[in-house]
Amino acid sequence: MALNGTVYRAISIIFLAGLFPHPLRAEIGHAARERVLEARIRSLEQRLGEMETKLEGREHRSSLKAPPVRPRPNPVAEASNSAAAEPTRSKSNIAATPSAPRLSAVEPNAAIETPQETFVFRENSVTLKPRHFEIDVGADYIRGSGFLQSDRALSAATSIRLGVLDWLEVNATIPGFTSTRTRGIGPFRTQSKQVSGFGDMALQANARLHEQTADTPGVVLSLGTLFPTGVRPYEFGNYQPNSALRGYNPNPTDFDAGYLSRGEWGLFTNLQFYKTVDPLILFFGAGVRYFLPQDIQGHTVQAGTAYTYNMGFSFAVSEKSTLGLQILGSYADKLSVDRHAVPQSELEPVSVRLSLIQRIFLNTWIEPSLGAGLTRDSPSLDIGFGIRHRF
């Protein structure tokens, strides 16, 4: 512009004036030299002010005559402005525009859409989407002790779960075990008996009746069937139900061995409630386990109906780690033999279980756990480890 050129020339004049000053006589003193320089500076400032005033007047007159200049379009700026204005669309426009399903930042695979905290009580929850399935393999070392006896057992189970609908999944569990019971029969004398075999296979379906909201808990109903694939814990060799006769023994249960199965048909159900109370998930469930009468060695045997419950909480330590605390308990009625209740045959096992769920790969978890019995009908110690993979 004209103004910039004129200012540039004025600055050049000042620079040259200072660089090549007019020669002064040697006899002029210091004070006189300063007065001469000040006069020159004031003269230059006055000339600059006059030039600026003239140039401003010229620019004003040229702006009144010149047509307005349209700015050249900038595609990059227009694209960025459009992107910035995108969130200001109306709700109706947003609803009308289809969007891709949003995945969790922790779980980028569509197969992982359930909070990991629910895995603590996954036996009574729905964790799989339709057409997804998982395989779970676990093992437990069980240690128990009682009056003049001790138990050691190793159990293992394989579970296969399949998602059927968004609110429904089914699973099958095949257990097995080996156990040894050692009993004291005299001073420094013991006897041991070992038993091994399959446990009772189970088929189960979990249906989510209600998804949790801000004010209400989620509800899951479980229904299942037990198959008599396990070893039966009965021995009628010493059975004597008549109290008037010698060797009275109304309970045909084999107490010389520790059994982890019943070998009877059964039905079970559970109603589970869960609620997120950040950062925890609280849960509670209650159910019933009913065994059908079985004909064993000419006697009709029916295990007592058990009333089960579970409660606890889980919370995420990190994106891949979850801790859970769970209390598992039940109360079982008396055993029935030939429609007669066996005295003192009630059972009330209660245990507490601490577990860690650690994701090691995208769809693979390991689950170490530690359990302790709270009643004499429960094992003293239960150390478990499981691994499962989701497809």
The per-residue pLDDT for range 251-306, each reduced to its tens digit, is 999 999 999 999 999 999 999 999 999 889 999 999 999 999 999 999 999 999 99
Specify the pLDDT at position 375. 95
Give the tens place of pLDDT for each residue, 328-383. Answer: 999 999 999 999 999 999 999 999 999 999 999 999 999 999 999 999 999 999 99
Position 67 confidence tier, pLDDT thresholds 50, 70, 90:
low
pLDDT for 186: 84
Q: At what angle do helices 2-19 and 30-65 cross, to 10 degrees?
A: 170
Of 195, 193, 203, 155, which is closest to residue 176 (Cα–Cα)? 155
Q: Percentage of the chain surpassing pLDDT 70?
A: 77
Residue 24 — very low, low, confident or very high, per pLDDT cuts 50/70/90?
very low
Given pLDDT bands bounded at 50, 70 and 90, which one contains residue 82? very low
Q: What is the structure's pLDDT at 4?
A: 52
The pLDDT of 204-213, averaged and rounded, is 96
Q: What is the CA radius of gyration of the chain?
A: 43
* Per-residue model confidence (pLDDT) at position 69: 47
Q: Which residue has the tokens 């009468």?
A: 293
Residue 30 predicted with pLDDT over 90: no
pLDDT score recorded for residue 52: 78
Contacts of 33 (CB under 8 A, 6+ apart): 24
- Sequence-distant (6+) residues with CB within 8 A of 292 are 264, 265, 266, 267, 302
Question: How large is the average pLDDT for residues 101-118?
Answer: 52
Q: Are 198 and 236 in contact (CB under 8 A)?
A: no
Q: Over range 111-125, report the average pLDDT.
A: 80
Q: In terms of C-beta density within 10 A (0-12 exposed, 13-18 middle, 19 or more buried), how is residue 124 classed?
A: buried
Mean residue pLDDT of the chain comes to 83
**pLDDT tens for each residue of 213-227:** 999 999 999 999 999
**Confidence tier at 65 by pLDDT (50, 70, 90):** low
Q: Which whole-number Å values give the CA distances from 1 to 4, 48, 59, 390, in the listed order?
A: 5, 17, 9, 72
Query: Which pLDDT score is estimated for 19?
Result: 47
The dihedral built from the CA positions of residue 78, 80, 83 and 84, taken in this order, carries a sign that is negative
At residue 117, the pLDDT reads 84
Contact criterion met (CB below 8 Å) for 194 and 182: no
pLDDT at 79: 43
Name the pLDDT band for 146 (thresholds 50, 70, 90): confident
Residue 285 confidence (pLDDT): 98
Give pLDDT, residue 327: 98
Cα 161–Cα 163–Cα 168 angle in degrees, nearest 5: 110
pLDDT surpassing 60 at residue 70: no
Share of the chain above pLDDT 90, in %: 64
Provide mean pLDDT across the span 107-111. Answer: 41
> What CATH code would you report for 116-390?
2.40.128.130
Residue 46 confidence (pLDDT): 80
Give residue for tokens 């007065």. 35
User: Is 323 in contact with 317 (CB distance < 8 Å)?
Assistant: yes
| pLDDT tier at 98, thresholds 50, 70, 90 | very low
CB distance 337 to 299 below 8 Å: yes
Can you give the pLDDT at residue 44? Answer: 82
65 residue type, one letter: K
Higher pLDDT pick, 45 / 102: 45
Q: Which of 163, 161, 165, 167 has its CA nearest to residue 202?
A: 161
For residues 12-37, average pLDDT = 55
Q: How confident is the model at residue 5 (pLDDT cuts 50, 70, 90)?
A: low
Cβ neighbours of 93 (radius 10 Å) = 9
Tokens at residue 179, please?
């156990």
Record the pTM. 0.70
Answer whether residue 83 shows pLDDT above 90. Answer: no
